[in-house]
């Protein structure tokens, strides 16, 4: 039976791979933004309230859902609280917004 000799390269590579995986997980978690619907602390809320789409939607009183829209993002763009949006749209399921769906803003 041959003697077992540990391969130093493999050991070092394993440790570096573990560190890289932990750093990657940390970056993904830090940039994911959550899904709470709040501003997420990303500092973009001041830009969103002044958007043309938000002002047009407020003027018309209806938001048309676009790909990637969430209730939190719509709330930020229009300046209308998520709770108010849900009260105005009782059949609305915030988890399954569909492209082209209309959301009442008033």
pLDDT tens-digit profile of 19-55?
999 999 988 888 776 554 444 444 333 334 456 666 6
Distance, in Å, from the CA atom of 4 to the CA atom of 29, rounded to the nearest integer, reads 40
Q: Tell whether pTM > 0.85.
A: no
Fold of 48-104: Membrane-bound Lytic Murein Transglycosylase D; Chain A (3.10.350)
Distance, in Å, from the CA atom of 43 to the CA atom of 89, rounded to the nearest integer, reads 28
DSSP 26: H
Domain positions in the chain are: 48-104
Distance, in Å, from the CA atom of 80 to the CA atom of 54, rounded to the nearest integer, reads 10
């Amino acid at each position: 039976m041959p003697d077992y000799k540990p391969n130093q390269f493999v050991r070092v590579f394993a440790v570096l791979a573990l560190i890289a995986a932990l750093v990657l997980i940390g970056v993904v978690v830090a940039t994911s933004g959550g899904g709470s619907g709040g501003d997420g602390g990303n500092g973009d809320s001041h830009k969103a309230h002044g958007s043309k789409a938000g002002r047009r939607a407020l003027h018309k009183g209806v938001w048309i859902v676009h790909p990637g829209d969430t209730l939190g993002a719509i709330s930020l763009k229009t300046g209308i609280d998520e709770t108010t949006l849900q009260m105005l749209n009782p059949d609305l399921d915030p988890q399954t917004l569909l492209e082209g769906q209309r959301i009442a803003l008033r």
